[in-house]
């Protein structure tokens, strides 16, 4: 039965998916939606995004507001206010897509993503080696060794990605 399909609204999230596909398809064009770049639209989108950002951090993840407002902000069933916030963020991302694309091409994540299978396999080996070298279960406290292990793992994975990307050239 539909009411037992899980924690989220099937049709709401499908609508979100189709909207994302549409925005992605339109971003291939030279200027996907010229009206999005108009100053009033960008100012309204930025104001909405800022209001929802501060509201989220003031009220918390699960607001204890009136049921109508809580339902309008519901993330599992995509409440109407959640859709308004998402649309405002989408407008800002589409307007800044060239800048985001230029940054992404030179980012650490792009380097890791280009050889993601190699990085994943190296990560599995590192995890197994770390688990084999630890004699006792980890405590609830974060120690400097944990931070050093995380930092060295990330640096090692990035170096492996750099070597792999250079090897492909």
**The whole model's pTM is what?**
0.60
Nearest to 89 by CA among 151, 19, 168, 31: 19
Residues 61-65: contacts with CB under 8 Å, at least 24 apart: none
| 111-157 confidence digits (pLDDT tens) | 998 899 999 999 999 988 888 887 666 566 667 778 888 899 999 99
Residue 35 has pLDDT above 90, yes or no: no
The C-alpha angle 20, 25, 27, rounded to 5 degrees, equals 95
CB 45 within 8 Å of CB 92: yes
């Amino acid at each position: 039965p539909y009411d037992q399909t899980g924690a989220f609204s099937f049709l709401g999230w499908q609508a979100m998916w189709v909207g994302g596909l549409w925005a992605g398809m339109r971003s291939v064009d030279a200027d996907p939606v010229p009206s999005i770049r108009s100053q009033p639209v960008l100012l309204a989108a930025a104001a909405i995004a800022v209001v929802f950002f501060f509201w989220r951090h003031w009220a918390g993840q699960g607001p204890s507001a009136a049921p109508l407002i809580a339902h309008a902000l519901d993330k599992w069933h995509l409440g109407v206010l959640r859709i308004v916030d998402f649309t405002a963020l989408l407008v800002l991302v589409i307007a800044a897509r060239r800048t985001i694309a230029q940054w992404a091409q030179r980012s650490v994540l792009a380097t890791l993503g280009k050889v993601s299978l190699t990085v994943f396999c190296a990560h599995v080996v590192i995890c197994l080696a770390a688990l084999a070298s630890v004699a006792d279960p980890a405590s609830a406290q974060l120690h400097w060794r944990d931070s050093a292990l995380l930092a060295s793992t990330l640096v090692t994975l990035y170096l492996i990605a750099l070597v792999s990307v250079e090897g492909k050239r």
